[in-house]
Structure 1
Amino acid sequence: MTNCDSTLSRRETRRRERRKAILEVAARSFLNNGYAATTMSSIAAEMGGSKGTLWSYFPSKEALFSAVLDDATTTYRERLAAILDHQGDLDRTLYRLGINLLQKVTSPDAIALNRLVTSEAGRFPEMGAIFYNLAPRHTRMLIAAFLEQAMDRGLLRKADPEQAARTFMTLLLSGCHQLMLMGQISQPTEVQIDADVSFALDCFLRAYAPDDRPA
């Protein structure tokens, strides 16, 4: 490696580290102070730099919020994709998906983010759109692609796969997740999560059972 390459590599490393630090500060600010109260100026001040430096990484608060969400969800999206075994047992795969998804969305940070978006999306629809596209919609599309293959394999009846994914997610989130959002429980137990997943899976598989009636 030449001296020039080494210098560029160190510079890129410092830039990645700086970007990561900005995302960490911004994530805390969004969750603790809300979207409206979080400003580029306040984040730059906490970072100890200028707004110009911050803008060289993120041109707007919307872009920064999007990057915070993308950073927070990238690892989970990869884990979810790994769970969705297109050649595995359908019931077992959907059960593992349900447990993993419900554990994720009932985590303290996920609940805090959900409440933040719900409370402020009316005033800041761009924030709601960013959250929707990077979190619920992206997850639903991954599940829909999995369910479409299950339909092609004859394991589920033919239907709109995206609507089927929405049905499964709605059933899954109708129990302890909703209770947490409403402040009725602080954290679900493993028993509650298992019960919610089993209920959702039973209802879903009954609704989308293969249609064996003759044409």
Structure 2
Amino acid sequence: MSDDKSTQGNVERRQQILEAALKVFSTKGFHKATNKDIAQAAGGISPGLIYWYFKDKEDLFASLVRERAQVLQLADRSEEFMSLPPREAFYRLGQAYLSIFHNPGNVAFFRIMLSEASRFPKMGEMFYRGVGRKIFGLVNGYLQHQVELGVLRPHDTAVASRSFVGMFMVQMLARDALLQPEAQGLSDEQILSTVIDLFLHGLEKPQA
């Protein structure tokens, strides 16, 4: 019983540190944030305690990205994803992407990433390693599989995978991060149906 309590306590403490890191990164940025700032935001814990759960600030950042990106759950269930028909597969993927920005904390975090990425390329590299590479790999593999099955026509799957993800990123930026007035009224369903229709109509094999 004591081991269970200890394990639960570790999980809760780790989550507390992640939530504090999100708050600090979102206000100060990654490079200005210190472990002392994060420890204080986590309820005044010892800064050294953070190293019990994370190797360094980069590991903390990478863990935060992974836990906030619900879309990675699809990559963890790639076999199930590969078996879905194209419209359902891309609907699930798009839905998972859009859901990231339903959390205001994620929006603030993403804005900080955008503002710092050009000055600190390493941040972009960490995000790509933690999220981008897995998602592009998932979509690329799915497209290749559907081409092999004869469902989709042959095409450059690497370019297509980036194009699909990019269409959602543009919509998320406009509506949720940049708050463009003309994008504010768009619902997730409008974005999903339009993007998926545009994407699939360009790849579906013409009916004989």
- Conserved in 2, the CA contact under 8 Å of 1:40 and 1:54? yes
CA distance in 2, matches of 1:141, 1:188: 31
Unaligned 5+ segments in structure 2 are none
Cross-structure match for 1:150: 146
**Secondary structure, in 3 states, of the residue corresponding to 2:82?**
coil
Identity, in percent, stands at: 26
- Output the TM-score relative to the length of structure 2: 0.79
Change (3 A) 1:120 1:201: same
CA RMSD between the two structures: 3.1
**Secondary structure, in 3 states, of the residue corresponding to 2:94?**
helix
Change (3 A) 1:44 1:93: closer
Correspondence 1:209 to 2:204: yes
Taking the TM superposition and a 5 Å limit, the aligned residue runs for 1:1-215 are 8-46=3-41, 47-73=43-69, 75-78=70-73, 85-105=81-101, 107-175=103-171, 177-185=173-181, 188-189=184-185, 192-210=187-205
TM-superposed deviation, 1:154 = 0.8
Change (3 A) 1:14 1:202: closer
CA distance in 2, matches of 1:140, 1:188: 27
- Conserved in 2, the CA contact under 8 Å of 1:180 and 1:186? no
Change (3 A) 1:18 1:172: closer
Change (3 A) 1:94 1:115: same
- Conserved in 2, the CA contact under 8 Å of 1:26 and 1:43? yes
CA distance in 2, matches of 1:95, 1:120: 31
- Output the TM-score relative to the length of structure 1: 0.77
Matching residue's letter, 1:66: A
Aligned residues: 206
- Conserved in 2, the CA contact under 8 Å of 1:172 and 1:200? yes
Unaligned 5+ segments in structure 1 are 1-5
